[in-house]
Amino acid sequence: PSDIKNLVKQQQHLLETLWSILKSGGKLLYATCSILPEENDEQISHFIAQHDDVIVIPLSGSWGTIQQYGKQIFSGVANMDGFYYSLLEKRQLM
């Protein structure tokens, strides 16, 4: 869809805003109802490149296919819609 670029920008803004108020040691679960890489792993990859204080927490559990930075659930699997999630922790910088 033509609005993907705008959605990616909005998601980036949300990540930046939430990260700025997250305390060191805090965790943020980034999630989308999307199967598009630019909203998911690519978004997290870009975010990590901009921040030295990000730790990607490996996700346990059987839901989803492992991606580089999170897990992806594809439409139709277990009667679910497309979904992505990635768990980030803010580490304290020295």
Residues with a known catalytic role: 33
**SS3 assignment, position 84:** strand
What is the Cα–Cα distance from 43 to 69, expressed in whole angstroms? 10
Structure tokens at 19: 């990260």
Q: Please give the backbone phi and psi of residue 54, each rounded to the nearest 5 degrees, phi first.
A: -100, 130
